[in-house]
Structure 1
Amino acid sequence: MKFIQMMDQPVEPGGLVEWTPYTEGGLGRWTEDSRPTSHNHELHLRGAFEHRLRTQREGGRESWLGLAIEFDEPMSVPAVRATLVGWIDRHEVLRSHVVIWSDRLARMTTGPGTVKLKMGRVGWYSEPAPLLDQLAGNFDRATAPLQWPAYMFATVAREKSFTLLFAGDHSLVDGYSLIMAQHELIALYSAARRRTDHALPAVGSYVDFSAYQRREADAAGADHEAIAVWSDFLHDTGGKLPGFELADGPGEVIAEDNGGDNGDNEHIDGTVSELVPQGSLTSALLDDEQTNRFTAVCSAAGGSLSSGVLAALAAVYAELGGGPILRCVIPRHTRGDQEWFGALGWFVATVPFRLDTTGASDFGQLIDRASDEMRRVRKAGTLPFLRVGEILGQKPGGGGDFPEPKFVVSFIDLRFAPGHAEADAGRARVLRSHNYSGDEVYIWINRTASGLRISARFPAQGRTHNQVGRYLSRFGDFLKQIGDQSTFGSLPASRET
């Protein structure tokens, strides 16, 4: 299943319809909700609010995730409407909104059955480029986190097929949400088309989870186990979260990096220059057989595929002049109970990761070290990043000194999800918005039914852009070389007769 930047894969042309949620009477008829929001959501909202105050505009903060699902049948308008309304009714996070007041956040919620859909026919597109521009632009505008709805749907219908698309601000969804959602939306549409029960299991509410997590985190203090892990990591890095930094390659031409540390391309006088979207990459690293061979090497060393991937990233980082220690931040899901498994929401924590390659005699030793580090830092994910900053006396994202992640590596095995094989074969793909940061490097590595896939975003030009390109190219080669050492699946040599 692809995880791809919206503009990197065309949508087959056809008739575009946009589906916008609304409630009669607007937010004025919603119910005040005493459940507090999550730290992730608060950090995200405050960052968006400060950006608006600083730049006097909403744009340049795109942070949405989405889906594109392909249906090999003519589109039924009533079935699409029933599907989307049913999905909104299943997931309370799509019927809840948080606003920023002067000294606090306030939540409002509306019940199932109150959200309706406005169907707007945009027109027929015969070429993919203008269609993609229209979709991406409207998704950018529709997913601003300070408004409701911060999400929208679209369909592109053709004579014998159609594409269903969704985009939602990151405060509403994460990658796991959308991996599960593609199967859920397909099941809802199929049931609506056939007028049968969808038979999907009930899901929990991210609004409930947010309230629970918030109360638990606010009760934590400096003695929380996560604080020791983060303090050790920040002490080791001089109080900064690591960026991506390699030695320059031979003959490499270095240009000035676009933007600065704030990611908004803001000048000292407060004006904002033209925003430059980050570069992106999506590709297959290994096929299924090659991935199995690499996994066998990891298993023989007592590790897992995820620890092997991190070990390989560290080995290549050291090889290309990044230094003997790989330092990055790793997202971890917080869906600890079954009720959250299929829920929409931002169930993600961040943990610091450090892997020292010094003195490693072979790759198996690096895998062992990576496994130990993953176990050690797991406890850091039990406390939200914003709360960590508050306990350490700093304020992430809001005028404080607490650093924000600049180098992030994610690994997800997608084979647990219902319908994963069909999605990986092209039925569905997870979308992400573009990003304007001048210094962030994000790498996502996913195990799918077809093998190992990679997606990345990084500065669009300059030194880091060149370095990331070299790094990811060498990383793919390294994985193949390690896998080639495995005897997994090898055939016995033929005997002479």
Structure 2
Amino acid sequence: MRFIQILEDTVAPGALVEWTPITPPRDEWHSDSRLTSHNHEAHLRGAIAHYRATGTEGGRESWLGLAIEFDEPMSVPAIRAALTEWIDRHEVLRSHVVIRGEGSTGEGLRRVSVAPGAVKLKMGRIGWYSSPDLLIEQIAGSFDRATAPTRWPAYVFATVAREGTFTLLFAADHSLLDGYSLIMSQHELVELYRANRDKAMSRVAVNPNPEPPQLISVGSYVDFSAQERRTADAADATHPALTVWSAFLQGATELPAFGIRRASADAAPTPQASLTAEVADDEQTNRFTAVVAEAGGNLQVGIMAALAVAYRRALGLNDFRVIMPRHTRHEERWLGSLGWFVALAPFSLDTSDDPTFDHAVARAAKELRRTKPAASLPFLRVADLLGITGAPRFVVSILDTRYAPGAREADAGRATVLRSHAYAPDELYIWVNRTPSGLRLSARYPGDSPMTDDVLRYLDEFGRLIAEIGDASTYST
């Protein structure tokens, strides 16, 4: 399953329709006392600060989305029913948080919510597009404008219909979901659409016994937010997460960045470049994983070890220091929920003695175990307690999507995870996804910067290293 910046995507020409959630009447919204997650609060405060500094309210830098391909004509009643049922299924799409005043962390937050069934959809016909480039530019611009976290709804849907096929697209501000949410959502939306299509066909006896959608039960991210907030707010300086972070930072108040050649600290944010590649196919990835297993690690350990070794090989740098997102879906009810179930943990690996790959794997495994407690506290709370300033600048995210419902069909081209543009002078974000077809890499990085060539050389070396290690494997199917 690809994970790409939206302007890298290609949607076949057709009739574009936007499906916008309609704000329910004021008397249907109720004050909701459930607390807001630290992730959501930090994101919302950042959006407000950005608006005050630039006058730009849109969510152009912070949305995630989906494109799903259907090999059949679109049923308007079925798509409307499917999207409405999906909104009812996930409470986070029927809830909104605002911040009142200029208070410090945790102050001035107010949540309002509506009941299932309250949100309807407005169908807006945009027009027929014959140019794929103009079509994707229109969709990207619409998603940028419709996903500001300061307004409800901070999400929107679109469809592009043709004679025998159609594409369903969706975008939402990051405060409402994470990447894993979308991996699960592509299956949910397909199931809901097909169930409603078959229900309509049963009325004319074309399909008299329609199957219900095959979906797992889910909890509410709004409930999770409140639970996580209460726990995190009770944490103090003795929390185990702070021990890990303090050891990593060693007195610094900013998080590490990639390499040593970077834009100046006062450089203006610029549009980031994007890269997407298939690092290895399924067999090559299995061969690489077998080598890692022999050394006592798993795929995640092997990827982190390879990234650290490639850092030394490509740049001559021995201190590999990054930030890693770690999921917080530790209860079964959260597995299929739409929400931002992510905390952060540091990762550091010293390669100054030019370790063999086996030794790097052993160190990476030890480091992942050692730093795991860091993700037991939301990063905003960590930053408050330790005085950390600034945002993560060098981030590596690893996902294994092979066991998600519909993963094989999605990876074969049925679905693509989309992300918005990004604007930053010195950020490098790397996503490595293990899919049914192999190992996929996506990255965003400064496109015109002193660090650009270093990033590309580094990512090339990582790919070569994965192949080199896999080629040395005796694994066979």
- Structure 1 length as normaliser, TM-score? 0.90
| CA deviation profile, 1:245-286 (whole Å, cap 9, x unmatched) | 157xxxxxxxx95xx657854xxxxxxxxxx42100011000
Alignment partner, residue 204 of structure 2: none
Alignment partner, residue 291 of structure 1: 285
Cα distance in structure 2, aligned partners of 1:262 and 1:454: 30
Does the alignment pair 1:426 with 2:413? yes
Alignment partner, residue 349 of structure 2: 355
The letter for the 1-side match of 2:224 is F
Does the alignment pair 1:155 with 2:154? no
- What secondary structure does 2:196 align onto? helix
Deviation at 1:361, TM superposition (A): 4.0
CA, structure 1 residues 101+353, in 2 after alignment: closer, same or farther (shift >3 Å)? same
Does the alignment pair 1:35 with 2:34? yes
Cα distance in structure 2, aligned partners of 1:172 and 1:55: 23
- What secondary structure does 2:176 align onto? coil
Cα distance in structure 2, aligned partners of 1:246 and 1:310: 20
Deviation at 1:48, TM superposition (A): 0.5
Match runs of 1:167-178 below 5 Å: 167-178=171-182
Does the alignment pair 1:5 with 2:5? yes
The letter for the 1-side match of 2:21 is P
Deviation at 1:359, TM superposition (A): 2.4
Alignment partner, residue 487 of structure 1: 474
Contact 2:59–2:173 (CA under 8 A) maintained in structure 1: no
| Match among 325, 345, 351 for residue 331 of structure 1 | 325
Taking only aligned residues, the RMSD between alpha carbons, in angstroms, comes to 1.5
Deviation at 1:59, TM superposition (A): 4.5
| Match among 252, 257, 261 for residue 243 of structure 1 | 257
Alignment partner, residue 300 of structure 2: 306
- What secondary structure does 2:117 align onto? coil
Cα distance in structure 2, aligned partners of 1:455 and 1:100: 34
Does the alignment pair 1:142 with 2:146? yes
Contact 1:79–1:189 (CA under 8 A) maintained in structure 2: yes
Aligned residue pair count: 461
Alignment partner, residue 217 of structure 1: 232
| Match among 231, 236, 260 for residue 246 of structure 2 | 231
Deviation at 1:29, TM superposition (A): 3.4
Cα distance in structure 2, aligned partners of 1:262 and 1:417: 42
Alignment partner, residue 316 of structure 1: 310
Cα distance in structure 1, aligned partners of 2:60 and 2:137: 18
The letter for the 2-side match of 1:413 is D
Q: Percent identity?
A: 59
Contact 1:32–1:107 (CA under 8 A) maintained in structure 2: yes
Contact 1:62–1:144 (CA under 8 A) maintained in structure 2: no
Does the alignment pair 1:472 with 2:466? no
Deviation at 1:227, TM superposition (A): 0.4
The letter for the 1-side match of 2:256 is P
Cα distance in structure 2, aligned partners of 1:312 and 1:49: 39
| Match among 415, 418, 422 for residue 402 of structure 2 | 415
Alignment partner, residue 134 of structure 2: 130
CA, structure 1 residues 361+243, in 2 after alignment: closer, same or farther (shift >3 Å)? closer
Contact 1:360–1:366 (CA under 8 A) maintained in structure 2: no
Alignment partner, residue 94 of structure 1: 93
The letter for the 1-side match of 2:229 is R
- What secondary structure does 2:73 align onto? coil
- What secondary structure does 1:3 align onto? strand
| CA deviation profile, 1:134-192 (whole Å, cap 9, x unmatched) | 00000000001100000000000010000000000000010010000000000000100
Alignment partner, residue 164 of structure 1: 168
Cα distance in structure 2, aligned partners of 1:61 and 1:226: 32
| Structure 1 unaligned spans of 5+ | 248-255, 266-275, 395-400, 491-497
| Match among 446, 452, 455 for residue 442 of structure 2 | 455
Range with greater deviation from structure 2 (210-219 or 321-330): 321-330
| CA deviation profile, 1:19-75 (whole Å, cap 9, x unmatched) | 0001332x4530000001000000000000011112222257520000000000000
4+ runs deviating over 4 angstroms: 260-264
| CA deviation profile, 1:66-88 (whole Å, cap 9, x unmatched) | 00000000000000000000000
Cα distance in structure 1, aligned partners of 2:246 and 2:115: 42
Alignment partner, residue 202 of structure 2: none
| Match among 420, 438, 446 for residue 433 of structure 2 | 446
Contact 1:246–1:317 (CA under 8 A) maintained in structure 2: no
Deviation at 1:402, TM superposition (A): 1.9
| CA deviation profile, 1:408-429 (whole Å, cap 9, x unmatched) | 0011101120010100000001
The letter for the 2-side match of 1:2 is R
Alignment partner, residue 379 of structure 1: 373
Alignment partner, residue 397 of structure 1: none
Deviation at 1:202, TM superposition (A): 1.8
Contact 1:60–1:436 (CA under 8 A) maintained in structure 2: no
Deviation at 1:362, TM superposition (A): 1.4
The letter for the 1-side match of 2:343 is A
| CA deviation profile, 1:448-469 (whole Å, cap 9, x unmatched) | 0000000000012121111111
Alignment partner, residue 112 of structure 1: 116
CA, structure 1 residues 244+60, in 2 after alignment: closer, same or farther (shift >3 Å)? farther
The letter for the 2-side match of 1:148 is W
| Structure 2 unaligned spans of 5+ | 200-209
Cα distance in structure 1, aligned partners of 2:340 and 2:265: 25
Deviation at 1:199, TM superposition (A): 3.8
